[in-house]
Amino acid sequence: MGDEAAGKPPVVILREETSVTSGTAVQEKLIAAARVFADLLRPTYGPRGLDKMLYKTDGTAAVTNDGAKIVAELMVKHPAAKMFVSMAESQENSCGDGVTGALLFSAELLIEGGRLLQKGLHPLTIVDGYNLANQIAQDTIHNQAVACNPETLRGVATTSLTGKGAEGAATILSKMIVEALNTVEGDADFITMHKTNTGSLSDSKLLNGIVVRRRVLLDSLPSRIEDAKVATINGDIAPRKQIRAAEIEIEEVAQLDAFLAAEEATRDVLSETLLSSGANVFLCSGSVDKGLLHRLMRAGCFVAGEFDDSELHNASLATGSRLIEHLADLSPEDIGEAGRLVTESRTATDQVEDLIRLEACPSPKVVTCEVGGANHLAAEEAIRAIHDALRSTGLAMRSDRLIDGGGATHMACALAIREAAEHEAGRNRLAMEAFARALEIIPITLALNAGTDALDRILELRAAHRNGAAEAGITADGTVGPTGAKEAAISLESALNSGTETCASMLRIDQVVSARGD
């Protein structure tokens, strides 16, 4: 029987180029991906973080130290690395900030887990210890969170702007951010951005209204209207078109004149309907009939068409006007208000569109942050920084819970986990201690980027917290003390949760089957 079996060919289930990785080699692959991400993002973290220049395949370039932007632009191939990218997207979508910190923590957590696996711990034992430590960290954050006030909210915005291209104008920008969020009740989705391409970041200001790039239809249209009454129309400003095709047989000139006169009479009626509403600014998403345009222009009105749906919706929210679908339905109740309408011609630049501005709206539900800066790349980076600050500050405003930044809360959580680990008798206490070490990667990174000795600073920070200095963290110059940095508690809670879940899912992997053979 043995000889007969030996003569049979082996059963082939997988293709020849398929590779199967098992045992400790699996963890080595995952940890390698974690180290790449950590090494890539570590120099960008904190107030002394540096920028990355991303040169894309289409030839465009971007300069940024925003973790979400860097991760989004990378052409990631490794499946484990894609899990980190997914976690970064989740953190960005839920909180708008804290992406770099979440990735650094998750990578360090996986590296610590690899060391425990080499010591013989079971992966699920490590996962149980991590989950227990994460719960202790969440409780610590909850206990240390304090309520917001206008001053601390500006601190949240300043913290988010620090270390980025907008840091030089952080005082002005943080005030603008808090004012904008107060206007729209803390919802950053109702705040738009506009690059002025002039001046500097210090010239940035808040506009209670909107700015739209659209070509002004006629040079003779008014370029400035005070006390603007705005109508927003989702459709064309034109006579109603026939749905069915028809042919009209004309036998004499008088019939043609009557037909054209009827069309003009229709335009007269429509223009009277529009003007009787009291509006002097008409914005629409469709085209504008030339005959109606000239009638409204002679009446001193401004007309603009071809607005995007989002632009028209923002105009409606900013002015308080009601979107209408049919011109005959326009009434004085549908009209919104703006302090003024101003148009700016851009004939001397390479921009095709003019600027249409609705300013000083009395009760806007949408506002615009006008960001100054003549350098295109710098302005783009500033807008990303302001966007993150808007999201994080709005999150703090809505949740009304703030914690200390600069690694202070991370150290407080690490000490609480170490103390709890002393009461654990099982092997999972080793995982809890590893979780605490992973939390300390944040103050360690801040110290390294500040150019100081990380070991000395982390020992000083532990001692400071043991002695009751709960606000102590790593300052911008690398010393230990109160940093004044504030961040939303929910942002750190989300980062720890997503980092723990990502690491736990990776530790559960015991075999990698690659159809590509790599």
User: pLDDT, tens digit, for every residue of 447-472?
Assistant: 999 999 999 999 999 999 999 888 89
Angle (CA) 316-318-319 rounded to 5° is 70
Pair (354, 259) in one structural domain = yes
- Assign residue 494 the CATH number of its domain: 1.10.560.10
pLDDT at 363 over 80: yes
Length of the chain: 518
Domain encompassing residue 308: 209-363
Q: In which residue are the tokens 């009760």 written?
A: 363
Mean pLDDT across 102-106: 91
Per the structure, the count of domains in the chain is 2
Enter the pTM of the model.
0.79
Residue 469 lies in a domain: yes
Q: In what order do the strands lie in the sheet with 191-195?
A: 191-195, 367-371, 205-207
Query: 505 or 97: whose pLDDT is higher?
Result: 505
Say whether both 222 and 103 belong to one domain: no
Token pair in block for residue 323:
């979107």
CA 467 to CA 482: how far, in whole Å?
Answer: 14
Q: Is the pLDDT of residue 1 over 50?
A: no
SS (H, E, C) 142-163: HHHCECCCHHHHHHHHHHHHCC
Answer yes or no: are the C-beta atoms of 281 and 302 closer than 8 Å.
yes
Q: Report if residue 109 sits inside a domain.
A: yes
- Give the pLDDT score at 444: 94
In Å, what is the CA distance from 201 to each residue of 15, 197, 387?
58, 10, 14
Domain presence at residue 89: yes
CATH of the domain at 218: 3.50.7.10
Give CA–CA dist 297/288, Å, rounded.
12
One-character DSSP codes across 62-116: EEE--HHHHHHHS----HHHHHHHHHHHHHHHHHSS-HHHHHHHHHHHHHHHHHH
| Contact yes or no for 367/180 (Cβ under 8 A) | yes
Q: Mark whether 296 and 437 lie in a shared domain.
A: no
Residue 228 lies in a domain: yes
**Residue 157 resides in a domain:** no
Does one domain contain both 214 and 353? yes
The string of DSSP letters for 237-279 reads BSPPPPSS-------SHHHHHHHHHHHHHHHHHHHHHHHHTT-
Exposure of 54 in the CB half-sphere (CA atoms within 13 A): 21
**315, 437: one domain:** no
Same domain, 222 and 327: yes
Q: What is the pLDDT of residue 259?
A: 57
- Separation between Cα atoms, residue 345 and residue 260, nearest integer Å: 35
Q: 327 and 250 in one domain?
A: yes
Query: Based on the domain organization, do 353 and 229 belong to the same domain?
Result: yes
Pair of tokens at residue 245: 């095709």
Does any domain span residue 115?
A: yes
Q: Specify the range with the lowest mean pLDDT, choosing from 25-29, 216-220, 503-507.
A: 25-29
Considering the domain architecture, whether residues 345 and 460 belong to the same structural domain is answered as no
Q: What is the pLDDT of residue 516?
A: 61
Read off the pLDDT of each residue in 213-217 and give the average, rounded to a whole number. 86
pLDDT number for residue 260: 58
pLDDT tens column, 385-422? 888 889 889 888 888 899 998 899 999 999 999 999 99
Whether residue 129 is found in the same domain as residue 248: no
Q: Within this chain, do residues 280 and 408 fall inside the same structural domain, yes or no?
A: no
Q: Is residue 170 situated within a structural domain?
A: no
Residue type, 425: A
Question: Residue 248 falls within a domain, yes or no?
Answer: yes
Q: Which residue has the tokens 């949408």?
A: 366
Same domain? For 306 and 245 the reply is yes
Rg (CA), the chain: 31
473 SS3 class = strand
**pLDDT 10s digits, 220-234:** 888 899 999 999 999
